[in-house]
A and B are shown apart, each in its own frame.
Chain A
Amino acid sequence: MFRKRPPPEEERRVRANDREYNEKFQYASNCIMTSKYNIITFLPVNLFEQFQEVANTYFLFLLILQLIPQISSLSWFTTIVPLALVLSITAVKDATDDYFRHKSDNQVNNRQSQVLIRGSLQNEKWMNVRVGDIIKLENNQFVAADLLLLSSTEPHGLCYIETAELDGETNMKVRQSVSVTSELGDPNNLATFDGEVVCEPPNNKLDRFCGTLYWRDSKYGLTNQNMLLRGCVLRNTEACYGLVIFAGPDTKLMQNSGRTKFKRTSIDRLMNTLVLWIFGFLVCMGVILAVGNAVWEREVGSLFQSYLPWDPPVDNFLFSAFLSFWSYVIILNTVVPISLYVSVEVIRLGHSYFINWDRQMFCSQFNTAAEARTTTLNEELGQVEYIFSDKTGTLTQNIMSFNKCSINGQAYGEVTDPLEPPPKRLDFTPFNPLADPDFCFYDDTLLESVKVGDLHTHEFFRLLSLCHTVMSEEKSEGELVYKAQSPDEGALVTAARNFGFVFRSRTPGTITITEMGRPVTYTLLAILDFNNIRKRMSVIVRNPEGRIRLYCKGADTLLFERLHPCNQELMNITSDHLNEYAADGLRTLALAYRDLSEEEWEAWSESHRCAGKATDCREDRLAAAYEQIEQDMMLLGATAIEDKLQEGVPETIAILSLANIKIWVLTGDKQETAVNIGYSCKMLTDDMTEVFIISGHTVQSVRQELRRARERMIEVSRGRDGGKEGGVEGWEGACYNGNGFGGGQAGATGGGGGGEKQLQCPPPPGTPPPPPPPSPPPPLPPLPPQPPSTLMDNISGEFALVINGHSLAHALEADMEAEFVLTACACKAVICCRVTPLQKALVVELIKKHKKAVTLAIGDGANDVSMIKSAHIGVGISGQEGIQAVLASDYSFSQFRFLQRLLLVHGRWSYLRMCRFLCYFFYKNFAFTMVHFWFGFFCGFSAQTVYDQYFITLYNIVYTSLPVLAMGIFDQDVPEQRSLEYPKLYEPGQLNLLFNKREFFICIAQGIYTSVVLFFVPYAVLSDATQSTGEPLADYQTFAVTTATALVIVVSVQIALDTGFWTVINHVFVWGSLGCYFTIMFAMHSQTLFIIFPNQFHFVGSAQSTLLQPVVWLTIALATVICIVPVLAFRFLKLDLKPQLSDTVRYTQLVRQKKRKPVGRSMGGVRGGVGSVSEGRLGARGSSRRSGYAFAHQEGFGELITSGKNMRLSSLALATFASRHSSSWIDTLRKKKHAHTHTPPSASGECSPAPSYVSGSVPPLSTSSSVLGGSQDTPVEEGTHTPPVQSAQVDPVPSTHTPPPSAPASEAACVDVVSPTSVRCPGGDSPGGWTLSLGMVQEALFGWKGIAARTSGSSSPGPPSVAKETSNTE
């Protein structure tokens, strides 16, 4: 804070191994400090911070006022004691927080790392690492700072990192060093490395780095692909060396962990408004009393001057009135009690602890309990109206499990009869020692079928074990680890493994599997890789007997078209099965094979080569070649993979939506996957009236689609209201969901889906520039006037909206916002797919802005951080590896299902308690303070207090604080089970019913009424009364004691009425407070204290002489009765005539307890809701909704395999070969680039097709045909003889032509800019995880040539327009 800041860096220059040089620039060291104070600065800084709070300053101001004798109507300690208490409580809390920050800072700063100093590796603490140091990282170590990767133990300077802590992605990413440095293998070489890096100044962009390495008179471009960022973990790499570029606070991790936005709850805001009003009220009362004082002093006081002359500075009644105003401000300040804020904090803290302590939110799997990371938002949990949820990792576990399959028309895995006890899990070990023990399958008929040697079953699993791009790693015999590109693939291969077809290993040209215990090696002839248009992948293998066979798996719709006609019957059966699977929300794939004769193969591989070498439209030609061979296939069956939902997700969503909470899923996933998950977690149901899909590419089309959706809603709801339902079907242009493939391939889906609902999405615009409305809707009147929003509010019928990322970009534009909100909020469920993190935040902001509703965002990854931060409440899913979301969140727990407990139990209670607390708090302070106001009319407006000053000091902090705190912390209206059983109980929070301005005024009115009673009853009684010994009771001290006692008793009775849940603690606090009051009063009025401080304790003896009087007690009793009876009657009436649901539930509970026997579900209506939801779903089978196919990955991986690039040297016999391959592979990719840019391959001649002598028996052509193989005219033989091309060939001209998208968002926005025909974004249309990692791999390999910008786009939801364009051109 006090450190002088160096001027902002323009660029950063770092020279390796040269500390002196680097010190010139005063770069930040690697020591991080997140703490705010140290021992010396704590007090001043903390006090300074605290007095920035308006309330604290106000009380300080009061304190100063009280020091002016002419004004001081109260002793200074009446303010300073509570103020000191409040300040010290806050200070203690701040100090504790800071202590833990210190601790974690120390822990991080003292981590060890190995630094290369003067040629030798030395252990250093992290905090001592300097910019320019070279440090060595070992496997599984955290990266200490932002490093430039120099070399690693892996080939090509590759290394793998896990960036979970940084961005939440749990899969591994590849980083590669610049080629020149990757050769600097050992410390000695590195010690002499003196390259200088010039790069951008520190920033917080995780996916961008731009710099240049100058070394030995050469320049090397540096990109993000060369960087290891702090917070990452090194994986699968023995060790690597890196040069520290950014350290400590300059690292991207720290730059990203900015102070989280300070969040306030709506109650907070309301409270602040109310406090301001109360200030206004206070001033009004002050003015009234001052005017009164002026009048009184003029009329009466002036006459009374001889007995009481004015104080010296006062010379007329006006000045006296002025002083009186301030005096009354001091006296009446207790309407805004100083303890309000601190009490609120204490209550929230208590609620936070209850969340932390909740066993039912503890997840034993991850050993994590729920955590309230922010203690100030609890009551807002009871007011949530919108939940924005991430999908992967939040709703789903990101675990795919092989769930069901259909082999040759026979369905397996269908044993989930809910009535029977769950069947036993199959034990594969006796049958297959190589089985994966974690694999679950329950249907033993399938295993039997394998055992008896059913040919189809064997072929089925053989296909699964061959047709994939999984890599295996066998650490020891039988201990197989599969590294799958996508979890679906892993699940399939694992399934095959357990059923006896164990994929063991692969080389670029072979696949070795263990078939029923017998090792078999297949020659891999070609991989016809997956891409997003093909939606299928195939392999062509030659088995040891020499037979060539093509195995294909892919989306059923596409596969079925390519089957041999003789499969018709089987296809129908399988199709039925697929429909069933789809209805269950499973992800399906159809499997087929085709036998190829040697001649067919030869012919095809020739044409394939031709296609590969083509210079223009190579992609399309290759696709056509693939198309050619993938024909006349024989159907084997289908698989169904379950994208495992987190436990209890559908139930939670059902309950939350019953609680009137709208759930929006914002995911980076593909539309099909997202919709699929929407169905499986019951957000979307088949009994929904309609599901709209918005996937337009231009503003106009999005606007049109939104309007149509809305019109349709109105139409349907009108139709429904009019009793004629279902009359309108197949409404033109309303782009509702036909099947899983949603808005894209109008042509492609037509045939296969067998869907009843036809997909009627217009082919996406975004094709040739002026987008002609395709499949033209009936000429709509020039966009009908917007339906009034009132109409939209009472839409009946359940609708859902699915919107794509690119449409969302348009929908979020300023002029579309309102329209989007209008449409989306009329829907029960909204799914936004392919959204960027920024868009997630924008959507949240949109709802915050337009709906004034409380929003909650829940997610697990770094891509959710922005939305977690911008929502009112952010929830992070912990226990997974990523920690970014948790760090940014306000609450964290490890299972989505805990959300229901957090909201419906804790949130509801918190809200209830806070509201009751506030109501009571304002009440009791008004009752307390307003008595002074009334007394003012009797004491000449002289600002005389009614009570003893000690009573005023202690009233708020001792006599009445604990019971209300106990209520605020422990109160429950209904038990926790009930609030889950009756989600409707949540509604009062959303509607703000329990504490709002109206409730506030009621409390205030009640408080004022009480004060009137408390003043005038004792006044009327005491002014005439005497003791039985004749002494009058009308003296001031008796009056003060009587009123104070009556006040304490009345507010205690009131809290007793307000408390709905009397625990021991409540009893202790309520009775204790009363006891405390009397004890303290007797002590204060005791002789002892008076003898010591006669001027301070002049109430001596008042307590006993007053409280011994029956009249006094009769007065107190009368006042209490008059205060309480109306309240009691009012509450009783309210309960009797207009009971809230909570009252009803409570009543039922009470009755039930009394009868001691379960009275059936008397709340049929409410309960029924839950039931009907699930039933409705079970009955909704057989819809046309065809599930998403289980492909989540991306093309290009096949090539990676056939090139051998990603295989460990150890696992690959022919290392040299690998390098040669890799060169060709890289080149192919580069050429692909060139193809994009319409430039002819610059070095096609050098590019050797991959030879495959490796596998011996294979004809030379085989591998070259793999995927995008860079096939050339050059004969194969010639190719193999060409010397390997240096992989490090530097292409001086970066071949990018797209504007380098710096952030995903801009990429999305670029969609229209990029001419679709010219760009083929590699796998631009595939979802999250793998996309990114593969993108990284590619980037790693050619990114440093300066093409990084191009591929970085692939990590973001790419432009599907491109893909679709291609399909059109087909």
Chain B
Amino acid sequence: MAKEKANSGPLARRPDNSAFKQQRLPAWSPMLTANTVLPFFYCMAVLCMLLGVWLLVTVQNTQELKVSEPEFSQIYLTDALCASALMISILFLSQGNVFFYYGLRNFHQNLRRYMDSRDDAQMVGRKKNLKSPSTYCEPFEKDENGLPIAPCGAVANSIFNDSFTLVYHGSKGSTIHVPLYRSGLTWYTDKNIKYRNPKVDNLTLAQVFEGTAKPLYWHKPVYELDPHNPDNNGFINEDLIVWMREAAFPNFKKLYGILNRVSEPFTEGLPVGNYSIEISYNFPVQYFRGRKEVVLTTVTWFGGQNHFLPIAYLVTGGLILLLAVILTVIWWKFGKDGKNMKE
């Protein structure tokens, strides 16, 4: 080619004879023929159905208990104190880990301004941002005294602060507080990267947060969220982190605790029996027409109980199979061996 360019003969301006320039690159031109499409459809159908069945079986192995607000709001009404107890009964043994969630309905964590109303730089422990939070946090940036709020913003301000205690009513009338892990509830990255307390330098957390105000709706400042466990206090408090991970939809549940299976009778999971949930009621939902709920569930590799996915797979598989049959019939009747391909 170089030679060609060098010569200045009558072909000097002839374009190169490269496959690229002549649009003759070797290429694969697939075509949607019956030979490829129909087997593909059948395979897909079978695959989807198998997956569906497998998932369905898996999902059947999980158990879920959902208690929603009306059931415990009655108790709330009778007990004017901001605490309530709710009797539930678990009729079969929950195998393995049992997860305790609180749920909220009609709470919009996904509003644009709500989601923006936070300062990740503050939460990652930047001192500068601690004292002068991002303007996105308006109007939860400073309190009436002009003190910067830590953690600032609407998200942190509206933290769900009910607390739950699960009590097991044993067969002999004994009551045992079901032990719950209140840690390990977050993503690893959240706990270890995204949220850090400001550098301590021999100072206590309280001292570090000095000069900041607690969020308006909070009962206690951020450094007292879990005074017993320094790894769960301040910005790295897991309840806070869980709350700060905004839900995508107005109805959501968030992890509250995991069954601690170190002691009897909970080593196998939650035994069959009666339980009550004691709720300290701090988070009002009526005025925005919200509802709370409590969910107890077990998980598999696939996560918690989720019937949609297996059913969706089954339905999709069925539809594809139907489609495949229809296509086959049509093809057989009209287009076999490229009948229509001949003019």
Contacts and interface: CB of A to CB of B under 8 A. Distances in A.
Given A1111-B303, A1129-B323, A1132-B32, A1020 B194 contact: no
Contacts, number: 299
Contacts of A1166: 343
A1098 B120 contact: yes
Contacts of B158: 307-308
B114 interface: yes
A362 B14 contact: yes
B110 A938 contact: yes
Interface string A497-523: 000000000000000000000000000
A1100 B121 contact: no
Contacts of A1133: 327, 330
Nearest to A946: B248
Contacts of B287: 303, 306
A1111 B335 contact: no
B188 interface: yes
A1035 interface: yes
Contacts of B248: 938, 1019, 1022-1023, 1034-1036, 1038-1040
B289 interface: yes
Contacts of B252: 1023, 1032, 1034-1035
A455 interface: no
Nearest to A1019: B249
Interface stretch (A83-91, A484-492, A1114-1122): A1114-1122
Contact of B27 (A309, A354, A1061): A1061
Given A303-B289, A1094-B124, A1114-B309, A1139 B13 contact: no
Interface stretch (A470-478, A555-563, A1141-1149, A1319-1327): A1141-1149
A298 interface: no
A1135 interface: yes
Contact of B194 (A976, A1035, A1101, A1146): A1101
Contact of B189 (A362, A972, A1017, A1100): A1100
A359 B22 contact: yes
A669 to B, nearest CB: 31
A1095 B301 contact: no
Contact of B32 (A1040, A1095, A1110, A1131): A1131
Interface string B1-43: 0000000001111111100011101111111111001001100
Nearest to B114: A308
A1099 to B, nearest CB: 10
Contacts of B120: 1090, 1094-1095, 1098
Nearest to B97: A1030
A1036 B109 contact: yes
A1029 B31 CA distance: 44
Contact of A1111 (B12, B41, B302): B302
Interface residues of A, number: 104
B134 interface: yes
Nearest to B22: A359
B99 interface: yes
Contacts of A1101: 187-190, 193-194
Interface string B296-308: 0101111111111
Interface string A1300-1319: 00000000000000000000
A1114 B245 CA distance: 23
Contacts of B334: 1136-1137
B101 interface: yes
B75 interface: no
Nearest to B303: A1026
Interface in A335-377: 353-354, 356-359, 362, 364-365, 367-369
Interface stretch (B200-208, B268-276, B312-320): B312-320
A1163 interface: yes
Given A362-B13, A1150-B31, A1105 B189 contact: yes
B306 A1024 contact: yes
Interface stretch (B78-86, B144-152, B253-261): B253-261
B289 A1144 contact: no
A441 B185 CA distance: 98
A1036 B246 contact: yes
Contact of B303 (A356, A1027, A1095, A1144): A1027
Interface in B113-172: 113-115, 117, 119-121, 123-124, 126, 134, 138-139, 154, 157-158
A1031 interface: yes
Contacts of A1032: 101, 247, 252-255
A1037 interface: yes
Contact of B11 (A367, A1143, A1147, A1165): A367
Contacts of B255: 1026, 1030-1032
Contacts of A1023: 248-249, 251-252
Interface in A933-972: 938-940, 942-945, 970, 972
A1021 B306 contact: yes
B32 A1137 contact: no
A1111 B306 contact: yes
Contacts of B253: 1032, 1034
A181 B12 CA distance: 47
Interface residues of B, number: 105
Interface in A275-316: 300, 303-304, 306-309, 311
B249 A304 contact: no
B48 interface: yes
Contact of B340 (A1029, A1063, A1136): A1136
Interface of chain A: mostly helix, strand, loop or mixed: helix
Interface string A1147-1158: 111110000000
Contacts of B246: 1035-1036
B234 to A, nearest CB: 16
Contacts of A306: 287
B304 A1026 contact: yes
Nearest to B189: A1101
A713 to B, nearest CB: 28
A1107 to B, nearest CB: 13
Given A1024-B305, A1100-B194, A976 B312 contact: no
Contacts of A368: 13
A1033 interface: yes
Interface in B226-248: 245-248
B262 interface: no
Contact of B289 (A300, A1091, A1139): A300
Interface of B: 10-17, 21-23, 25-34, 37, 40-41, 44, 48, 51, 55, 97, 99, 101, 106, 108-115, 117, 119-121, 123-124, 126, 134, 138-139, 154, 157-158, 184-190, 193-194, 245-255, 258, 287-289, 297, 299-309, 312-313, 316, 319-320, 323, 327, 330-331, 334-335, 338, 340-343
Closest 7 CB pairs of A and B: A1101-B189, A1136-B335, A357-B21, A1039-B248, A1026-B304, A944-B112, A1030-B99
Given A942-B108, A1060-B29, A1136-B335, 20 more contacts: A300-B108, A303-B287, A308-B113, A308-B114, A308-B117, A362-B15, A369-B14, A970-B23, A1024-B305, A1030-B185, A1031-B186, A1032-B255, A1034-B249, A1036-B110, A1039-B248, A1063-B25, A1101-B188, A1111-B302, A1141-B343, A1146-B29
19 contacts: A307-B158, A1017-B312, A1023-B249, A1023-B252, A1028-B300, A1028-B303, A1035-B245, A1060-B31, A1063-B25, A1087-B193, A1101-B190, A1111-B302, A1114-B51, A1118-B309, A1121-B320, A1133-B330, A1135-B31, A1137-B334, A1146-B31
Interface of A: 73, 300, 303-304, 306-309, 311, 327, 353-354, 356-359, 362, 364-365, 367-369, 938-940, 942-945, 970, 972, 976, 1017, 1019-1040, 1060-1066, 1087, 1090-1091, 1094-1095, 1098, 1100-1101, 1104-1105, 1109-1111, 1114-1115, 1118, 1121-1122, 1125, 1128-1129, 1131-1133, 1135-1139, 1141, 1143-1144, 1146-1151, 1162-1163, 1165-1166
